[in-house]
Structure 1
Amino acid sequence: MSTPQPPMPQTAAPDWQAAAPGSPYPTYTSPIPVVRTHLGHAISSEWTKIRSVRSTMWTLGVFVLLVVGIGLATAALVAANQAEDSLTGQNPLSFGVFGLLLGSMCIITLGVLTTASEYGTGMIRTTMTACPSRARVLTAKAIVFFAVAFTVTFASVLLVALADVAMLKGAKDPSGGDWLKGTFGISFYIALLGLLSLVVGSIIRHSAGAVTIMIGLVLAPLVIALFMFSSALEKVRQALFDYSIPNQLGAFYSNSLSDTGPTGWDPVWIALGVTAVAFAGAVALLQKRDV
C-alpha cells in the first residue's frame, strides 16, 4: 500500500489580488510601484517607436536631401545664369519651394507609416492593450510626429534660406515677415500636411492606400486644372488652381499661381481646419472599430 501524501500547503494570493479592495490581505504592499498612466507615458512610447524604426531615418534622410539639395542647386543655377538686375524685387527665399514640393512626399509617407504600419504588422493590438485609451494613443502619435516633422523641416528650410540669401545677389532683402513665413510658416504647413497623412493612415488602416490618397490630394487638383479647357468649367478650374497644395506653398513666398487664391497665413488656417476635422473623425472611428 502506498503511503498517503501530506496535503499541499495553501499558496498565497497573487499580488494583484492582495492589494484589491476587500482583499483578505489588506495590509499587503506590492513591491512593484503602481503609477497612474497619463499622456506623457504614451508620448514616451511613441517617441521610442518612431526613432527606432528604419523607415523614419530613410524618409527623413531623403527629405533633407531633396529639400537642401534641390534648394541649393536651384539657387546656384540661378546665380550662375542670372542677368544684371534680373532678380530685382524677387524674394530669394522662394527658390526653396521646389525641393519642398518633392520633399513633402517623404513627410506624407512617414505620416502614413506612423499609424497604418502598425495595423499591417498587428502591433496595434499590443499598443492598444498597453494603453486602452485610443484617443490618447492617436494624440501621442500626432504630437510626436508633428514635433519631428516640424523640427526637421524647419532646420532644412532655414539652411536653404540662409544659403539662398547669400548666393542670390540683387534680390530684395527679405523682411522679418518674409523670414517668418518662409521658414516657420511653411515648416508648420508641411508638418500639418504630414499630420493629416497620419490621420488618414489611421482611418484607412492601409499604408499604400493612404499614401495614394495623400499624393492625389497634393498633385491631382493642379493636374486636373491644367486639362480643363472648357469655359463652362472655368470657375472649377480656378478653384482647383487656387487651393492646390503647390499654390498654397507658393503663397508663403507671395508667389501664388493665381491672384485669387489663399495669401499670407491662409494656407495654415486651411490646413489646421481640415486636419482638425479629420482628427476628430479618426478618433470617433477608433472608438467604434475593433482593433
Structure 2
Amino acid sequence: MTTATTPAYRVTPTRVLRSEWHKLWTVRSTWITVLTAVAFLLGVGILMGATYTSDGGDSDVDTVVLTLYGSQLGAICLAVLGILVTAGEYSTGLIRASLTAVPRRTPVLWAKATVFTAAVFTISLVTALLTFLVAQIFLSDTDQAASLTDDAVLAAIAGNAAGVTLLGLVALGLGAALRSVPGGIGAFIGGVMVLPEVLGMLPYDAMETAIRYFPTQAAGALGSATPMPNAASPGAALLALCLWAAAALIVPALLLRRRDV
C-alpha cells in the first residue's frame, strides 16, 4: 500500500519573494544600474551646490528640486533596471524556469514588482537624503540654504523617491508586457518621456491640464517643496502615478494568464 507524501517544499508568497530578491541582486546589471543612478543623483547634486551663486539664474528654483536635479537621470537608469527585471528574463529564457516553479504565474510578477519597489524606494530615499545634506554644505551661505526640518522639505525628498520608484514600476510593467528589453526601453522613452512633451505643444487647454497627470510630470510635482506652477498637487500627482503604475502592471498580468509563456 502506498501513502501520499507531502512535498518537501511548497510554493508560498514568501518563497517567491525570496527567489525574486536573490535574482535581483545576483545579476551584474542590477549593480551597474543602481550605482549609476546613485552616482548621477549624488554627483549632479554636489555639482549644483558647489557651483551655485545667489546672483545666478536659479534663485527662484525650489531648493529640493535644485539639489535633486540628478534624479531625472537616475530615474532613467532605474527604469532600465525595471525593464531588465522582467524583459531580461525573457531574453535569457529564465522566465520558463520561473513560471514552471510558480504555475499560477502572476505571483512571479507581483513578487518582482514588490521586490523592485522596496529596493528602489529605499535606495532612492537614502541617496536623496544624502545628496540634499551634502549639497546644503555648499549652499549654507546662499539664498538656497535649507534644512530637513523646514516646511515640506522632507516630504518633497520622500516624494522624489516615490516618483522615481513609481516611474520604475511603469517601466517594469512595460518590460513585462512587451517582453523585449529594447522594446521596453523604447516604449518608456518614447511613450513616458517624449510623448508628453510633444502633446504639450498642442494649443489646447484640456491637453495642458491632462499632461499634468502624465508620469514624468506627476513625478516632478511630487519632488518639490513649494507648489509648482501649472502642476498637479502632490496628492493628485501621487494618485495619478499609482494609477499609471497599476495599469502598467495589470496589462502583463492579464497577458501572463492568456499566453503560453
The alignment's TM-score, normalised by the length of structure 1, stands at: 0.79
Match of 2:134 in 1: 163
What displacement does 1:227 show?
4.8
Could you say what secondary structure the match of 2:67 adopts?
helix
Distance in 2 (CA, whole Å) between partners of 1:63 and 1:52 is 18
Out of 76, 91, 99, the residue aligned to residue 50 of structure 2 is 76
For residue 256 of structure 1, report the CA deviation from its aligned partner: 6.8
| TM superposition shift of 1:69 | 0.4
**Rg larger in structure:** 1
For residue 246 of structure 1, report the CA deviation from its aligned partner.
Answer: 4.8
Off by >6 Å, runs of 4+ in structure 1: none
The 3 A distance-change label for structure 1 pair 147 and 100 is: same
Instruction: Confirm or deny that 1:275 pairs with 2:245.
Output: yes
Aligned counterparts, 1:54-65, within 5 A: 54-65=28-39
Structure 2 gaps of 5+ residues are none
Q: Is the 8 A contact 1:197 1:214 kept in 2?
A: yes
CA distance in 1, matches of 2:201, 2:61: 29
Matches within 5 A, 1:89-128: 91-128=62-99
Residue in structure 2 matched with residue 217 of structure 1 by the alignment: 191
Corresponding residue number in structure 2 for 1:289? 259
Shift in Å at residue 91 of structure 1? 3.6
Q: Which runs of 5+ in 1 are unaligned?
A: 1-23
Find the aligned partners of 1:262 and 1:97 in 2 and give their Cα distance.
Answer: 19
Q: Tell me whether 1:25 sits opposite 2:2 in the alignment.
A: yes
Pick 1 or 2: higher relative contact order, CA cutoff 8 A, min separation 6: 2
Per-residue CA deviations over 1:4-55 (Å, capped at 9, x if unaligned) read xxxxxxxxxxxxxxxxxxxx233x878xx62332111011111111101000
CA contact (8 A) 2:68 2:128 kept: no
RMSD of Structure 2 on Structure 1 (CA): 2.5
The C-alpha deviation readout for 1:150-207, integer Å capped at 9, x for no partner, is 1111111111111233322333645555223322121112111111111111110011
